Chain A
Amino acid sequence: MDNWQIALQAATVALVLTLIYRPLGDYMALIYTSRRDLRVERGFYRLIGVDPRSEQTWQSYLRSALAISFVGVLVLYGLQRLQAALPYALGFPAIPEGLSFNTAISFVTNTNWQSYSPDVTMGYSVQLLGLAVQNFVSAAVGLCVAIALVRAFAAVRSGTIGNFWVDLTRGILRLLLPVSVLVAILLIAAGVIQNVAGFTSITTLTGTTQSLPGGPVASQEAIKILGTNGGGFFNANSAHPFENPTALTSLLQVVLMLAIPFSLPRTFGTIVGDRKQGYAILATMASIFVISLTALTLFETLGGGTAPQLAGAAMEGKETRFGIGASTLYATATTLTSTGAVNSMHDSFTALGGLMPMFNMMLGEVAPGGVGSGLYGMLILAVIAVFVAGLLVGRTPEYLGKKLGPREIKLASLYILVTPTLVLAGTALSFAIPAVRADVEGTSIWNPGLHGLSEVLYAFTSASNNNGSAFAGLTANTPWFNAALGAAMLLGRFIPIVLVLALAGTLAAQDKVPATTGTLPTNKPQFVGLLFGVTIIIVALTYFPVLALGPLAEGLQ
């Protein structure tokens, strides 16, 4: 593999993201601070009976976010169960209860974990009316929560944190929808299919008959990537040539996954009135990204063993049309955001290579993270970092002029407790309950031994962090995994949201302390280093033992 080509791809992505950082970040800031409503928005507000100028307390904002998500789960569950009665079902039957439950939660929580093969399970109606709608809504909800927190940092003694319905509507109508349309057209032009043709039978060169699936793929693909959803139209996800035909579309998908999350720090900096604060967050995210990408690429190019040595790199599970560079870039982007789409099989990575996507998710997907969720995750870590470092300079710690007292630290601490608890408890329960263990070892794990443990650990990491990518090789459509992963996704999404919005409420109500030379500066390289250190150390300390039992033990054999 040509190292130059790998570097060139990464550099291209970096360049494009640099170019859009300011315009996209400022545009998002404008969307969420503008006092003007579009006509179509006004109509929608009248329809749902919302006064767009009224603001909500954090509790009310939270209730709205939970309500729309709850309704989303119900509708999506219903659509799946009624699939047989819907048009364009392609003859597929209703989806079973357990799987419907898991999938409904999966798409509402922006996880898009798929315990099924979409090409042979979901008809076009469920895809378009159910899954695609949630792709938009779940991404917009993530943005709402992040923006509410950012607003709270900017607010002074305010009882409210914004209007959820306005934020949601604007996020979809002014950002996700128009960009998705544009992207879909680009994808079609680049070779992604878009039709409602169902299955086409063709005769191959060798004379056998093959059934080729069709479908409205490009339109799904656009929001799948842009909204860091990741739920594929086909089972092979973005490794499938109809979803991701060329190296160019692969690169385009990487850019789109990272576009909003990497531009949100600008939005943050703009709204809090200090763009350097945004740069500090961006720099932390970017450093983690670059280091993670480098590590994964090194593990894969230098992979040991006979086959990788002969091939020049660990090519198992990777598309030859992408090669190592595009695969590791995609894998890093998809696991450091909450996307979870794949263009190569993470299960087939080298042992230490497979550790990287897992570690990326364990970081809480904060570099740059999911749409919205990445920013609020990183801001929570910043709160923790400021608290410890603020003590070191002899002041009651304050971040952006907001004092970090017992309540703020309680909420931030609980936040960082949630996902590790879900991941570790989920994995442990899979082996601790005898009946479950028998099922997990007998049915689900395809690769016994250390790799099997990694597969289970990966599944819970992916679900709890709302990523959705899978270490293939695990059969997850079992009652245990459907239920446990469903619970992990649900709790991993909404407990943090509750905590973030509560934090937003507390911060918004506070006064703003003016910064002095005695205040810890949070817009300098020093803080970037600190935040980087806190992020890595907290995660490393939490997951080191379990990683030692899985990928590390496997990799260091």
Chain B
Amino acid sequence: MTTLETVSVTPPHKPRPPARATGAISAAQLLAALPGAFRKLDPRQMWRNPVMFIVETGALLTTALAIAEPFLGGPATSGGDTVPPSFTAAIAGWLWLTVVFANLAESVAEGRGKAQADSLRKTRTSTRTARLVGYDSETDAAAQHTPTEQVSSADLTLGDVIVVVAGDLIPGDGDIIWGIASVDESAITGESAPVVRESGGDRSAVTGGTRVLSDRIVVLITSKPGETFVDRMIGLVEGAKRQKTPNEMALNILLAALSIVFVVVTLTLNPIAGYSNAAVSLPVLVALLVCLIPTTIGALLSAIGIAGMDRLVQRNVLAMSGRAVEAAGDVTTLLLDKTGTITYGNRRATEFVPLAGVETSVLVYSAALSSLSDPTPEGKSIVDLAVAQCLERPNAQDGIVVPFTAQTRMSGIDLPDGAQIRKGAGSAVIAWASETTPSDPSALAELAGQVERISQAGGTPLVVAVGSAEGKRQIVGVIYLKDVVKEGTAARFAELRAMGICTIMVTGDNPLTAKTIAAEAGVDDFLAEATPEEKLELIRREQAGGNLVAMTGDGTNDAPALAQADVGVAMNTGTSAAKEAGNMVDLDSDPTKLIDIVRIGKQLLITRGALTTFSIANDVAKYFAIIPAMFAGVFPGLAFLNLMQLHSPASAILSAIIFNALIIVALIPLALRGVKYRPAAASSILSRNLLVYGLGGVLVPFIGIKLIDLAITLIPGF
């Protein structure tokens, strides 16, 4: 089929529009999420988020007070000040809103996944399928004579063998053990063009819920009911089985600790203030506590995590766990397959090199003639180059095409007049030529020199020999096939290097070729003549040095390496073994996506850090609003700290609470979209983010609280 020693199978890459719009949220989305937000008010659910649980408790407490106050003779004085009658009710109302806003963020994030889950669920409808009874691959591989029984897809178990014919839904995940078929996988990948799946090799996996469009295949079921790929996908995009990642847990602990500190601050305040007769009322205490605990990040933390997974899903990557997404941000070593990632994957003929004493036209003609019936890009490129060198396109002749096999490592054509043309690996073609005609040592030496030169330059030498009808065979020259590196790769790798990520190119090429391409593409290192074992060994070595490794793979023999890697991205076209071993699956089967995955992982962590920083920085302004307000009645001197010149103690406290609630809503889009990430060295990213979220976090609330205060002064009584 192809002329070369190494077979390169590249899945078609078609740019396709993202599955759904990203980023901004619509009013409809908010509305749809609202019921969920209220359902989440259930304390048993809130308990899992300690920060918001405190807010809810505060809301309950102030609500009870607001109801009781009219019967107890109005609101209690606070810090020597009287407060307006509606103060407690206003605080209670805004506290409830704070909790609802937090739940809304999570609901919106989950809602996005739900839409996708619903469409996936449709593929899971139970179908009838033909199960083979007593299938024997030895005697009846095609299952033409084996009896079948009709069963429901829900009853299929591991190890069952089924027959699927054109028009049928594939009932469960499995591997094709016989046959070839075109399959419509649009339900899973969103890609409308059908893909070819065939037994043996690395494209044998089929996914439940996809439809066979042509032919007939025998499939070995490889998943238990309820644990299929689609089931897992649904679970993942819905966030149903979302487990907190280590980093999220660590952050939660820090937030809990900060909350505890502020609970202590609040609880101890009144006894101490009581000494100076400055004790404050309960609603004010609750307001102080809620303002101080990190509500912004507490409210948005889980939404950030869900949205991070969702961003991957939008790029058609399924992470099997949030842990894997986080690990992607930490990756320090990327193993990139040369083919398809670094090079276009198809080598192009760039030069004909005739041996001494051979007319160039003979070489060009022979090469072109033998490639006419070669459908591979390499074959076509030989003909193209020949035409470009002013050769008329030779007419196709009714010769016998000799296909490439791994054994012969050459291909060619036997012409009707008895002449033969062979092209292929040097050693194979030399062996073929010397079968009948002893080789000329000087020609061999010259050939060796050319082969060496081309190899060193990173090319693939394709040796061409012709045989006359009389049986005299002669090597006529070499075709220089060149692996073309994708544009912009070097810049991309330089970017990765700036991020502290080292790239290693993995290729089956010989070291010479690999070295040249590595230099051209700008990767940091390469692994030539890579075997699966060597790949695994390389990963282990990198990990022993403390590096986190990410890689892509599709073949069954990639499975151990995929499992060993910290981030293993399996191609959806790959075998189920590969998909099982990796912790992510790329539905587009695009190996370059590894770089996007790393970016998304980093973005997830940065978003968390940014909102944490912002949340803590906010406290500074809130203090300057609340503290002078709390004790202004007893210590008028503290008005000096009222930097914002807020109107009255009651309005100052209420403004801080309102700001605290509104900032959550304002930041939901950011939490869902993620902070903008530009690859750069850590120190410059840090400077920028500290400026935006640290300094911004200090300044924004000063302005926000002041504006809200101006609005509140319009309300009589405040």
Chain A residues engaging chain B, CB cutoff 8 angstroms: 384, 387-396, 401, 404-406, 408-410, 413-414, 416-417, 420-421, 424-425, 427-429, 431-432, 437, 441, 449-450, 452-453, 457, 511-514, 516-521, 524, 526, 530, 533, 537, 540-542, 544-546, 548-549, 552-553, 555-557
Residue of A nearest to B548 (CB): A513
Asked whether, in the complex, the Cβ of B500 is within 8 Å of the Cβ of A516, the reply is: yes
Which one of B253, B265, B499, B617 contacts A410 once the chains associate, using CB atoms below 8 Å?
Answer: B253
Which one of B546, B601, B681 contacts A511 once the chains associate, using CB atoms below 8 Å?
Answer: B546
Give per-residue flags for B230-260: 1 if the beta carbon is below 8 A from chain A beta carbons, else 0. 0000000000000000110111011011101
Bound Cα distance from A537 to B620, whole angstroms: 8
Asked whether, in the complex, the Cβ of B681 is within 8 Å of the Cβ of A392, the reply is: no
Asked whether, in the complex, the Cβ of B257 is within 8 Å of the Cβ of A392, the reply is: no
Asked whether, in the complex, the Cβ of B609 is within 8 Å of the Cβ of A514, the reply is: no
Chain B positions 625-665 with a Cβ under 8 Å from a chain A Cβ: 627-628, 630-631, 634-635, 637-638, 640-641
Q: Does B267 contact A (CB under 8 A)?
A: yes
Residue of B nearest to A510 (CB): B546
Could you say which residues of chain A place their CB within 8 Å of the CB of B278? 549
Give per-residue flags for B290-316: 1 if the beta carbon is below 8 A from chain A beta carbons, else 0. 001000000000000000000000000
Most A-side CB within 10 Å, residue of B268, B606, B623, B689: B268
Chain B positions 248-283 with a Cβ under 8 Å from a chain A Cβ: 249-251, 253-254, 256-258, 260-262, 264-265, 267-269, 271-276, 278
Asked whether, in the complex, the Cβ of A413 is within 8 Å of the Cβ of B253, the reply is: yes
Chain B positions 289-345 with a Cβ under 8 Å from a chain A Cβ: 292, 326, 329-330, 332
Could you say which residues of chain A place their CB within 8 Å of the CB of B247? 391, 396, 405
Most A-side CB within 10 Å, residue of B602, B605, B619, B630: B605
Bound Cα distance from A413 to B608, whole angstroms: 18
Q: Interface residue tally of chain B, by bracket?
A: 35 or more
Give B644 Cβ to nearest chain A Cβ, in Å.
Answer: 16
Asked whether, in the complex, the Cβ of B609 is within 8 Å of the Cβ of A390, the reply is: yes
Asked whether, in the complex, the Cβ of B609 is within 8 Å of the Cβ of A389, the reply is: yes
User: Are A392 and B619 also in contact (CB < 8 A) when A410-B253, A428-B268, A545-B269 are?
Assistant: no
- List the 6 closest pairs (A to B, CB-CB), nearest first: A518-B500, A391-B609, A394-B602, A516-B500, A413-B257, A428-B268
Bound Cα distance from A533 to B617, whole angstroms: 10
Residue of A nearest to B612 (CB): A388
Bound Cα distance from A489 to B694, whole angstroms: 35
Residue of A nearest to B269 (CB): A545
Bound Cα distance from A520 to B321, whole angstroms: 26
Q: Does B687 contact A (CB under 8 A)?
A: yes
Q: Does B45 contact A (CB under 8 A)?
A: no
Give per-residue flags for B576-587: 1 if the beta carbon is below 8 A from chain A beta carbons, else 0. 000000000000
Asked whether, in the complex, the Cβ of B265 is within 8 Å of the Cβ of A424, the reply is: yes
Asked whether, in the complex, the Cβ of A384 is within 8 Å of the Cβ of B268, the reply is: no
Bound Cα distance from A530 to B608, whole angstroms: 17
Residue of B nearest to A514 (CB): B546
Asked whether, in the complex, the Cβ of B689 is within 8 Å of the Cβ of A392, the reply is: yes
Give B605 Cβ to nearest chain A Cβ, in Å.
Answer: 5
Bound Cα distance from A545 to B272, whole angstroms: 10
Bound Cα distance from A388 to B682, whole angstroms: 13
Bound Cα distance from A520 to B689, whole angstroms: 13
Could you say which residues of chain A place their CB within 8 Å of the CB of B547? 513-514
Chain B positions 512-562 with a Cβ under 8 Å from a chain A Cβ: 545-547
Which one of B620, B641, B683, B687 contacts A548 once the chains associate, using CB atoms below 8 Å?
Answer: B641
Give A221 Cβ to nearest chain B Cβ, in Å.
Answer: 36
Could you say which residues of chain A place their CB within 8 Å of the CB of B274? 431-432
Asked whether, in the complex, the Cβ of B275 is within 8 Å of the Cβ of A553, the reply is: no
Could you say which residues of chain A place their CB within 8 Å of the CB of B641? 548, 552, 556
Bound Cα distance from A452 to B501, whole angstroms: 59
Which one of B276, B499, B545 contacts A514 once the chains associate, using CB atoms below 8 Å?
Answer: B545
User: Are A395 and B682 also in contact (CB < 8 A) when A417-B261, A556-B638 are?
Assistant: yes
Asked whether, in the complex, the Cβ of A453 is within 8 Å of the Cβ of B272, the reply is: yes
Asked whether, in the complex, the Cβ of B501 is within 8 Å of the Cβ of A516, the reply is: yes
Could you say which residues of chain B place their CB within 8 Å of the CB of A441? 275
User: Are A431 and B690 also in contact (CB < 8 A) when A391-B612, A394-B603, A425-B264 are?
Assistant: no
Q: Does B595 contact A (CB under 8 A)?
A: no
Could you say which residues of chain B place their CB within 8 Å of the CB of A437? 275
Could you say which residues of chain B place their CB within 8 Å of the CB of A549? 269, 272-273, 275-276, 278, 631, 635
Bound Cα distance from A389 to B694, whole angstroms: 10
Give A391 Cβ to nearest chain B Cβ, in Å.
Answer: 3
Could you say which residues of chain A place their CB within 8 Å of the CB of B612? 388, 391
Give B258 Cβ to nearest chain A Cβ, in Å.
Answer: 8
Residue of A nearest to B258 (CB): A413
Could you say which residues of chain A place their CB within 8 Å of the CB of B620? 537, 540-541
* Interface contacts beyond A409-B250, A526-B687: sample of 15 additional A-B pairs, CB < 8 Å, sorted by A: A389-B686, A392-B689, A393-B689, A394-B605, A395-B682, A396-B329, A405-B249, A457-B272, A514-B546, A516-B500, A517-B498, A520-B682, A541-B292, A542-B261, A548-B638
Could you say which residues of chain B place their CB within 8 Å of the CB of A391? 247, 251, 605-606, 608-610, 612
Q: Does B87 contact A (CB under 8 A)?
A: no
Give per-residue flags for B683-713: 1 if the beta carbon is below 8 A from chain A beta carbons, else 0. 1011101100110000000000000000000
Q: Does B47 contact A (CB under 8 A)?
A: no
User: Are A424 and B264 also in contact (CB < 8 A) when A384-B254, A519-B500, A549-B272 are?
Assistant: yes
Give B13 Cβ to nearest chain A Cβ, in Å.
Answer: 27
Could you say which residues of chain A place their CB within 8 Å of the CB of B257? 413-414, 416-417
Asked whether, in the complex, the Cβ of B250 is within 8 Å of the Cβ of A389, the reply is: no
Bound Cα distance from A405 to B610, whole angstroms: 18
Asked whether, in the complex, the Cβ of A392 is within 8 Å of the Cβ of B610, the reply is: yes
Could you say which residues of chain B place their CB within 8 Å of the CB of A540? 620
Asked whether, in the complex, the Cβ of B546 is within 8 Å of the Cβ of A404, the reply is: no
Asked whether, in the complex, the Cβ of B254 is within 8 Å of the Cβ of A395, the reply is: no
Asked whether, in the complex, the Cβ of B683 is within 8 Å of the Cβ of A524, the reply is: yes
Q: Does B107 contact A (CB under 8 A)?
A: no
Bound Cα distance from A389 to B686, whole angstroms: 7
Could you say which residues of chain A place their CB within 8 Å of the CB of B276? 449-450, 453, 549, 553
Q: Does B52 contact A (CB under 8 A)?
A: no
Asked whether, in the complex, the Cβ of B253 is within 8 Å of the Cβ of A409, the reply is: yes
Most B-side CB within 10 Å, residue of A405, A453, A541: A541
Q: Does B288 contact A (CB under 8 A)?
A: yes
Give A52 Cβ to nearest chain B Cβ, in Å.
Answer: 31
Q: Does B162 contact A (CB under 8 A)?
A: no
Asked whether, in the complex, the Cβ of B683 is within 8 Å of the Cβ of A521, the reply is: yes
Give B265 Cβ to nearest chain A Cβ, in Å.
Answer: 6
Give B305 Cβ to nearest chain A Cβ, in Å.
Answer: 13
Q: Does B121 contact A (CB under 8 A)?
A: no
Q: Does B207 contact A (CB under 8 A)?
A: no
Bound Cα distance from A557 to B612, whole angstroms: 36
